[in-house]
Structure 1
């Protein structure tokens, strides 16, 4: 628990009011460590720090350094180099340096800030480096097969470079796939900035995808060629690395070699999975290419959303000025009243559910001035729904309306069935022999005729097909080109070329 508390105090300076002030001081000590400087005096910190104007006084710097030392970020020791008198000796003068915990905290914060500032990249240069490394590895393995021995040190160096480049590529690709569209930045950017970024991103993606397509096949072929020969190479490299381990017995040496061999095989498996399919899983390069292609519609979608949001803005004052101009253009008071009713939704609108206690329903044409007032619950305005107190209103009996609708549906079904029986005789007949058709029969005839003609590629071709509902089978055979047929209907006379028509039920109707 004490170690945890001490570690937490190392980051205490990030959560206080003067956090920016403390970070300026710690940045100076981090830079001094990179420059191999061991200790700093307060006046050196004051001179080298990147302060926000105005610069602090030396007393404030001394107080901040003492507080950082109390938190454990810095270590202090008396500064006796500048003592020239007894009074100087008794005056508090200190040299400061980073403590061990402070160095660890600065290293962690450096990685943290670098990760936050890092932008996702699609590295075409990494693809070139991977291809060159694999080609070099192939040459080394081929030379070792023809020579007396392999250059293990050179192969080890090539593989280390390959792993480093590949890990960087995979890490950046993962960051790219996590958020390539940058939708938050696009939603707040100006239109010109968005257009310029869109062009740069599209060019960037096209360049990467073309390079990825061009190099992926070559890299995959090299990996496929080398895969069968890499286990022996990994054993030699593992034996070379195991020589640097602490002394031990033969079994410890063998275990260390096998551990390193398995680590190299795992890295190679990851490289294979990037450029070669593993079972049903596509290679990671294909997924990255698909994600890069999908970035363009995502960008366009963000731009469309931004344009929609911009176009959807409403200027209330401009609306009222336009409305005032319309009122000024009215010739009579009647026109102005009609405009007011339309603009402010004052036209009559009676809803039975809003006035359940009305003794009789009012027609929609009833004016608001002539109608009784509506009692509207405040909940309706606030929540969009009304919950009146007390018992629910009496349910209106609509059995008569339902019976009327059922009667209409039955009558329509009877008429459609009669039309089917009238036309679907199963016998060939000429269109000119059909005679007069009522409204329902003529509607069914037009529907059948449309389905049949849709199958015809030429006017002289006979056609036969089943209707979309599967109830009827229709066959039409065109007759002479100068033949004529007329069908009389309540809507008029339907005429055209005569056909031999056969309509039959696909199964006997019940």
Structure 2
């Protein structure tokens, strides 16, 4: 049936078949020789009579085109008889070949997708089959058409996953996220509709309006399609598809992040080395490869032309480097490709004054701390309200101690205990009725009164 695609003049044979297909869509079944010429000029290109005669002969030989005669008119010459009396029509094989080539072109030009609208259409048709009586056959055919579209989209999408990773974009990710976002609801809706239907009863109702010749074959085809539908939505296929889609979303997002990261970087080292490998593969000799290596990795003398011998006047400037004495290269230049810059020695700072100031500050802080603890130390339990006047630093120490005590768990008597971070000062605190007010140079603080006991260790 498809020998016309591999035989000589395959393009012309395909164009002739499509000319018949275009005419059939306009209900022009039989075409004369001139009609075929006209269709080719419209959709393909003008051809000579010899080319068209050979193409029609080949299609007749392969059983794709048949020739019938029309005896209603008289012809004066054999040429007129050939051109006007003989009518060319597509055979069943020819019609199948036209449909197959159109389907092949459609698949080649289409892209895979996971369409939620198709799932909704499948669910709608299943629910309609449960209630409809008069249009059962039409709804069943529509259901099978939606199932075919869904399977085709899934198959093409799965085959394009690798290409999608190379051409990842935000729209693709958004499309997949839309598909999986409500997939659980859609698949449960389809499963519930499938569970309500009996395939035998459904096919019996549809057969009343089918008008088929071979009922047994029709029932077998419908049963096979129904099993395919059940395999998709009653079996693990739809769950596997959801898993693939979610995995694809993660992979595509990672790819987009990697692409964005590469775009943010000033250079892409991996891409540079891949390009360099391609250049090395195109070199024709070792000398060219060495020359490319020197240029790529900066090993030409001009890169470090500032290196020179101790007495440069003894060596002519045109003398090749391999004929001259070696030039010492610093370790930094060998390691990083950059020459170190030696500047003036920095001044040595006199830190004795800084150390003296820090010692004085430390002594002053210790003295202030000792004074604050002396003011807070009590001979026994006292109420906070009895501390009427405190300097601000001592007040900060008191607040820190009280906060530590309130953060501790009380014992059986309701007393809370805490210590400073160095363990030198210990406080015991328990609740007391009343209200306390403490005044410092910066203001007055009022709050619940407590009984405290502060001791130094």
Give the TM-score normalised by structure 2.
Answer: 0.50
In the alignment, is residue 205 of structure 1 matched against residue 144 of structure 2? no
| Cα distance change, pair 36–60 in 1 and its aligned pair in 2 (3 A) | same
By how many angstroms is 1:116 displaced? 2.9
Whether contact under 8 Å (1:235, 1:257) holds in the other structure is no
Whether contact under 8 Å (1:238, 1:258) holds in the other structure is yes
SS in 2 for 1:120: coil
Larger radius of gyration: 2
SS in 2 for 1:76: strand
| Cα distance change, pair 330–95 in 1 and its aligned pair in 2 (3 A) | farther
Equivalences for residues 37-116 of structure 1 within 5 A = 37-49=28-40, 55-77=46-68, 84-86=75-77, 94-116=86-108
By how many angstroms is 1:27 displaced? 1.5
Per the alignment, residue 313 of structure 1 pairs with 275
Per the alignment, residue 238 of structure 1 pairs with 203
SS in 2 for 1:72: coil
Whether contact under 8 Å (2:232, 2:238) holds in the other structure is no
Whether contact under 8 Å (2:137, 2:209) holds in the other structure is no
Per the alignment, residue 150 of structure 2 pairs with 169
SS in 2 for 1:43: helix
Per the alignment, residue 287 of structure 1 pairs with 243
Whether contact under 8 Å (1:73, 1:102) holds in the other structure is yes
Whether contact under 8 Å (2:126, 2:194) holds in the other structure is no
CA distance in 1, matches of 2:25, 2:38: 18
CA distance in 2, matches of 1:95, 1:62: 13
Residue by residue over 1:324-359, the C-alpha shift from the partner in whole angstroms, topping out at 9 and shown as x without a partner, is: 5337554246994488999xxxxxxxxxxxxxxxxx
By how many angstroms is 1:33 displaced? 2.0
Residue 117 of structure 1, aligned match among 103, 109, 134: 109
| Cα distance change, pair 165–53 in 1 and its aligned pair in 2 (3 A) | closer
Whether contact under 8 Å (1:42, 1:95) holds in the other structure is yes
| Cα distance change, pair 57–48 in 1 and its aligned pair in 2 (3 A) | same
| Cα distance change, pair 246–38 in 1 and its aligned pair in 2 (3 A) | closer
SS in 1 for 2:28: coil
Residue by residue over 1:208-252, the C-alpha shift from the partner in whole angstroms, topping out at 9 and shown as x without a partner, is: 4234322x3333443565565434xx45323324557999xxxxx
Residue 121 of structure 2, aligned match among 129, 134, 156: 129
Task: Extract unaligned runs of 5+ from structure 1.
Answer: 1-9, 141-150, 187-193, 248-252, 343-479, 483-510
CA distance in 1, matches of 2:143, 2:55: 46
SS in 2 for 1:331: coil
CA distance in 2, matches of 1:241, 1:221: 25
SS in 2 for 1:312: helix
Whether contact under 8 Å (1:163, 1:267) holds in the other structure is no
Residue by residue over 1:245-265, the C-alpha shift from the partner in whole angstroms, topping out at 9 and shown as x without a partner, is: 999xxxxx9x99997996686
Whether contact under 8 Å (2:32, 2:83) holds in the other structure is no
Equivalences for residues 230-379 of structure 1 within 5 A = 230-231=197-198, 234-241=199-206, 243=208, 266=227, 269-273=230-234, 283-296=239-252, 299-300=255-256, 308-309=270-271, 312-314=274-276, 320=295, 323=300, 325-326=302-303, 329-332=306-309, 336-337=321-322
By how many angstroms is 1:136 displaced? 5.4
By how many angstroms is 1:159 displaced? 5.4
- RMSD across aligned C-alpha pairs, in angstroms? 5.0
Whether contact under 8 Å (1:25, 1:45) holds in the other structure is yes
CA distance in 1, matches of 2:43, 2:302: 55
SS in 2 for 1:49: helix
Residue by residue over 1:301-335, the C-alpha shift from the partner in whole angstroms, topping out at 9 and shown as x without a partner, is: 99699964455323666954962533755424699
Whether contact under 8 Å (2:307, 2:327) holds in the other structure is no
| Cα distance change, pair 301–100 in 1 and its aligned pair in 2 (3 A) | farther
Per the alignment, residue 439 of structure 2 pairs with none
Mean alpha-carbon deviation: is it higher for 46-55 or for 117-126?
A: 46-55
Whether contact under 8 Å (2:63, 2:91) holds in the other structure is yes
Whether contact under 8 Å (2:114, 2:179) holds in the other structure is no
SS in 1 for 2:89: strand
| Cα distance change, pair 52–245 in 1 and its aligned pair in 2 (3 A) | closer
Whether contact under 8 Å (1:72, 1:102) holds in the other structure is yes
SS in 2 for 1:40: coil
